[in-house]
Chain A
Amino acid sequence: MRYEATLNVNGVGYPVEIEPSRSLLSVLRSEVGLTGSKEGCDDSECGACMVLLDGRPVNSCSYLALQADGREVTTIEGLAAADGELHPLQRAFLDEGGVQCGFCTPGMLISAKALLDENPRPSEEEIRLALSGNLCRCTGYSGIVRAVQTAAAELA
């Protein structure tokens, strides 16, 4: 059967009616209509679906949407300012070669945001550990790590 829930995504409330088995990712991508969060695997291994739930990083492919009822979800679409101004992380990913095919980028940016919120001055080691749940096949991570360092310096 279906249940009513309200997902607060990037500051906007979305009333939805969904089955218990639905993942947060599938509801974000269909009912909510935000396709920035990606699906790259079946088992929480790739991190392309990463969102913030009450500020904490969560693999949305493996989290039940109903459990997010009434809670704050931040997706990649919520990272830039309301006027479209890119977040320093987004800008740094572009400047430092952190983006190639772009499929891991939304999840990677969300994990990077979670890290900097928690630890504004991470070491390279801490950056690499915090991003290890996000697989990238294009960049070898070098550009991504540089981007997080650049953004951290700018935000600090």
Chain B
Amino acid sequence: MSGATYTAAASVAEALGALSSGARPIAGGTDLVVGARGGKAPLPEALVAIHNLEELRGMSAEGGGVQMGALVTHAEIVASEAVRSTFTALADASAIVGSHATRHVGTIGGNVMNASPAMETGGPLICFDAMATLRSSSGERELAVAELFAAPGRTTATADELLVAVSLPAPAAGTGSCYVRLEYRRQMEIAIVGATAVVTLDGGTVSDARIAITALAPTIHRVAEAEAALIGGDSGEAAVRSAADAAAAASRPISDVRGSADYRRAMAAVITRRAIVAALSRARGEHVPIPASPALHGATNGGAA
């Protein structure tokens, strides 16, 4: 572990000053410190802690959309009625990040800027057209979260930019969404395969669809062919299946300790199909529990049995 110098920023301006002189931001530390301890990457030489910045906290729901400060935690996202009702897939995702403790400490900003191809919230944010607000000493810009993910662990933000907020615009009426992850255990997991579906129904017709795949390529991304297979259709089984197959075809999985490429590709179709089916159910106003993942894997145990 490195980490030679440290400042706890008292204001965003102070944090930005530190960034422009080479420091790296740290909030909950769930990725940065864990990565350093595990030998993945040493801590940056200079750290600026941003956990005290009130400006980066809090969520607000206006005009059907949601604005989140970068320090909003997964636990806060899951508890937010606005997220649960309107951006349900994001609630699905935040509800299954790590453990109870991780969800209390880990922030949306950290999750996004870590840019892991297996991060849970990435697919939902991309599909909801989430915008990231990046600020530096020289100004502020907004870009789509989709534009932020450059490569595994790398974003398109410059070193002096701080993610200060993430905002999600109001989706069209009749939209339902779901994030599903293939998980070996019920908690403490990392996505082996993940899929997000955001669908809008107009009567019996799918008027819009967003499908993204997680842990199936170097970055999380949408699959246009899968979306096309749904849009304009009747949301029937055949359309759902062809969308799911398109997602699998678009995947470029690796073989590693968590699963073979063949297995992941096959699971891409299964998990995508389940995400679409659940999103359609929600779009129709049917109840699918949050998070969707454990429920869709079959009955749980313990209290349920």
In the complex they form, whether A and B have CB atoms below 8 Å apart is answered with yes
**Chain B nearest CB, measured from A152 CB (Å):** 13
- Contact pattern, A 42-59, Cβ under 8 Å of B = 1, otherwise 0: 111101001000001111
Q: A59-B102, A111-B101 are in contact. Are A69 and B8 (CB under 8 A)?
A: yes
Among B47, B104, B186, B187, the residue within 8 A (CB) of A58 is: B104
Determine if A123 is an interface residue (Cβ-Cβ < 8 Å): yes
Sample of 6 more A-B contacts, CB < 8 Å, known A21-B36, A64-B3, A129-B100: A20-B3, A21-B2, A21-B43, A23-B37, A42-B38, A56-B101
- Contact pattern, B 189-233, Cβ under 8 Å of A = 1, otherwise 0: 000000000000000000000000000000000000000000000
5 CB < 8 A contacts A-B = A1-B5, A59-B30, A62-B34, A64-B29, A111-B100
Residue of B nearest to A51 (CB): B101
Are the C-beta atoms of A66 and B98 separated by less than 8 Å?
no
Among B6, B187, B302, the residue within 8 A (CB) of A20 is: B6
Determine if A89 is an interface residue (Cβ-Cβ < 8 Å): no
Among B3, B4, B8, B29, the residue within 8 A (CB) of A63 is: B29
Residue of A nearest to B187 (CB): A132
Q: A62-B29, A132-B188 are in contact. Are A57 and B302 (CB under 8 A)?
A: no
Q: With the chains together, A118 CA to B213 CA distance in Å?
A: 34
Residue numbers in A under 8 Å from B28 (CB-CB): 63
- For the residues of A in contact with B, the DSSP-based class is mixed
Determine if A67 is an interface residue (Cβ-Cβ < 8 Å): yes
Tell me how many residue pairs across A and B have CB atoms closer than 8 Å. 109
**Chain B nearest CB, measured from A75 CB (Å):** 14
- Contact pattern, A 2-32, Cβ under 8 Å of B = 1, otherwise 0: 0100000000000000011101000000000
- Contact pattern, B 10-37, Cβ under 8 Å of A = 1, otherwise 0: 0000000000000000101110011011
Q: With the chains together, A127 CA to B51 CA distance in Å?
A: 29
Are the C-beta atoms of B100 and A125 separated by less than 8 Å?
no
Are the C-beta atoms of A128 and B105 separated by less than 8 Å?
no
Are the C-beta atoms of A132 and B6 separated by less than 8 Å?
no
Query: CB within 8 Å of A: which of B21-76?
Result: 26, 28-30, 33-34, 36-39, 43, 47, 49, 51
**Chain A nearest CB, measured from B22 CB (Å):** 14
Which 8 pairs across A and B sit closest by C-beta, in order of nearness?
A: A133-B99, A125-B303, A132-B187, A124-B303, A20-B6, A21-B3, A57-B101, A21-B1
Are the C-beta atoms of A19 and B3 separated by less than 8 Å?
yes
Determine if A115 is an interface residue (Cβ-Cβ < 8 Å): yes
Determine if A151 is an interface residue (Cβ-Cβ < 8 Å): no
Q: With the chains together, A81 CA to B150 CA distance in Å?
A: 52
- Contact pattern, A 126-156, Cβ under 8 Å of B = 1, otherwise 0: 1111111110000000000100000000000
Determine if B304 is an interface residue (Cβ-Cβ < 8 Å): yes
Are the C-beta atoms of A62 and B37 separated by less than 8 Å?
yes
Q: With the chains together, A132 CA to B2 CA distance in Å?
A: 30
- Contact pattern, A 100-133, Cβ under 8 Å of B = 1, otherwise 0: 0000000000010011000000011111111111
Residue of B nearest to A21 (CB): B3
Q: With the chains together, A21 CA to B32 CA distance in Å?
A: 11
**Chain B nearest CB, measured from A61 CB (Å):** 7
Residue numbers in B under 8 Å from A126 (CB-CB): 303
Are the C-beta atoms of A123 and B303 separated by less than 8 Å?
yes
Are the C-beta atoms of A44 and B98 separated by less than 8 Å?
yes
Determine if B300 is an interface residue (Cβ-Cβ < 8 Å): yes
Residue numbers in B under 8 Å from A21 (CB-CB): 1-3, 36, 43
Are the C-beta atoms of A66 and B8 separated by less than 8 Å?
yes
Residue of B nearest to A55 (CB): B104
**Chain B nearest CB, measured from A109 CB (Å):** 14
Are the C-beta atoms of A129 and B187 separated by less than 8 Å?
yes
Are the C-beta atoms of B303 and A58 separated by less than 8 Å?
no
Among A1, A44, A64, A130, the residue within 8 A (CB) of B49 is: A64
Residue numbers in B under 8 Å from A1 (CB-CB): 4-5
Are the C-beta atoms of A43 and B26 separated by less than 8 Å?
no
Q: With the chains together, A64 CA to B29 CA distance in Å?
A: 7
Are the C-beta atoms of B300 and A20 separated by less than 8 Å?
no
